[in-house]
Amino acid sequence: MTALANEHRRRVLVALLDWDGGSDPRVDVIQTVESGGERTDELRTRLYHRHLPRLDELGFIEWDRDSLAVRPGPRYQDIRPGLEVLRDNASELPGDWP
């Protein structure tokens, strides 16, 4: 549940649902989690120092620290069914979900 407690982490994890395992199996994190009034440099700092390390430690993502690109980690399949429910029911969920 810690992984889903933050909007930015949820957006990263839900975005990985569309990953097809192709030749460039990465998601551009900044583009995925950008929100209206937030400055990109502040968002990048929070992602780099807080959100992505936490998801990586949990095994839900693997990330390239230089590009902030991610792909599913070894434990991603453990949470995939819950992420699919979030994505498929996004219109029913409060504000910042997923």
> Domain tally for the chain?
1
The 10s digit of each residue's pLDDT in 56-73 is 999 999 888 887 778 899
Range of the domain at 57: 7-87
Instruction: Sort 83 into a burial class: Cβ within 10 Å, 0-12 / 13-18 / 19+.
Output: buried
CATH of the domain at 76: 1.10.10
The 10s digit of each residue's pLDDT in 5-40 is 888 888 889 888 877 666 555 566 666 666 555 667
Confidence (pLDDT) at 31:
64
Confidence (pLDDT) at 22:
60
pTM of the model: 0.77
Cα 87 to Cα 10: distance, rounded to the nearest angstrom: 10
Residue 45 lies in a domain: yes
The token duo for 96 is: 């910042």
Cβ–Cβ under 8 Å, residues 69 and 48: no
Residue 62 lies in a domain: yes
φ, ψ for residue 62, nearest 5 deg? -120, 135
